[in-house]
A and B are shown apart, each in its own frame.
Chain A
Amino acid sequence: MTLVNVLYVGVLLFCLGLYGTLTRRNVIGILLSVEIMANSVNVILVAFSRFTQNLLGQVFAVFVMSLTVAEVVVGLALVILLYRTMRHTDIDEASRLRH
């Protein structure tokens, strides 16, 4: 297990998440892809922490995790509000400011 392999995996995951974020039509699908991106960043942070013997990477990973969870909570609240207002969660249809 070298740092390079983990970096490749992390970068691949990040690009997959980016693709999902850009192409998904459903808001929840976009949130899932954002989760993948945050997760890949965590993997890379922990790998650097492991191979540089520096704990700050893990501390950052803890922060990233908490922030992602907060983001998901607020995001899902917004999704539910969007559904109540528009009766769907389609990102392309939700282009009006006023219903």
Chain B
Amino acid sequence: MLELVGIAAVAGVLVAAAVSVVFGTNLVHSVLLLAVMLFTTAVLFVILDAPFLAGIQVMLYAGGVVTLMLFAIMLTRRSGGVAVNNETIKGRRLPAAILCSGLFALLAWSIHQTTDFPNGGDNVLATRQLGITLFTEQALSFEVLGVLLLAATIGAIVLARKRDHGEPEPAGAFQRPARGRKEATR
């Protein structure tokens, strides 16, 4: 009983944080609430007997992604102290709400209809087994993933770095509202 209450509390915090991220008006608050959501997901992973994934979740998301998001917000904040705008597009709220609630209704209905869910016992899958699977059975996928991460890193650096002095800048870069700048140098 107590366990059930705890799990319900975790799920409630998860959903509440996600709601605040999606409906909040301040972007910085949204990012910090996303961190709350990601931590709560890590707790859920622990409950689901996946401690390794919980650790990755905390390190990768809460440590990396949230910091990166905050950096991006601070870098793209308009000068002059204007609050970070995070409003939603008005004409798109109703169609999106209908679409999403429809999708939720469909998925919830199909979950509700299904009766024979697997419940394969209480053996805890060891992290050791996960490592063995990852580096033997799935070794090729793992290496492809490494190549992809390298490509993403290089791509991000190339996209976001500042240009050197001799190098042509992308059109409009670092110019104030780039009026009258005709030539697109790239």
Using CB atoms and an 8 Å cutoff, list the residues of chain A in contact with chain B: 1-9, 11-20, 22-26, 28-29, 31-33, 35-36, 39, 42-43, 46-56, 58-59, 61-63, 65-74, 76-81, 83-90, 92, 98-99
Contacts of B120 in A (CB 8 A): 51-54
Q: Is the CB of B34 within 8 A of A87?
A: no
Query: When chains A and B are docked, how far (Å) is the Cα of A69 from the Cα of B95?
Result: 29
Contacts of B117 in A (CB 8 A): 2-4, 51
Known contacts A22-B99, A46-B53, A85-B170; decide if A99 and B76 are in contact (CB<8 Å).
no
Interface size on B, residues (CB 8 A): 90
Known contacts A25-B86, A50-B125, A55-B125; decide if A20 and B60 are in contact (CB<8 Å).
no
Which residue from B38, B92, B97, B99 sits with its C-beta under 8 Å from A39? B38
Contacts of B65 in A (CB 8 A): 35, 68-69, 72
Query: When chains A and B are docked, how far (Å) is the Cα of A90 from the Cα of B11?
Result: 32
Task: For residue A7, give the distance in angstroms from its CB to the closest CB of chain B.
Answer: 5
Query: When chains A and B are docked, how far (Å) is the Cα of A65 from the Cα of B134?
Result: 14
Q: How many A-B residue pairs have CB under 8 A?
A: 238
CB 8 Å contact bits of B8-50 with A (1 = contact, 0 = none): 0001001100110110000100110010011001001101111
Known contacts A3-B117, A23-B93, A28-B27; decide if A66 and B75 are in contact (CB<8 Å).
no
Query: When chains A and B are docked, how far (Å) is the Cα of A39 from the Cα of B92?
Result: 24
Contacts of A3 in B (CB 8 A): 117-119
Q: Is the CB of B72 within 8 A of A16?
A: no
Interface centre among A11, A31, A83, A84 (most CB of B within 10 A): A84
CB 8 Å contact bits of B143-162 with A (1 = contact, 0 = none): 00100110011011101100
B172 at the interface (CB under 8 A from A): yes
Query: When chains A and B are docked, how far (Å) is the Cα of A3 from the Cα of B82?
Result: 45
Known contacts A23-B89, A50-B50, A85-B171; decide if A15 and B103 are in contact (CB<8 Å).
yes
Contacts of B155 in A (CB 8 A): 74, 77
Supplied contacts A29-B30, A46-B48, A65-B60, 17 more A-B pairs, CB within 8 Å:
A1-B7, A16-B100, A22-B92, A28-B31, A28-B69, A32-B21, A32-B30, A39-B37, A50-B125, A53-B123, A58-B53, A59-B130, A66-B145, A70-B153, A77-B155, A77-B156, A89-B76
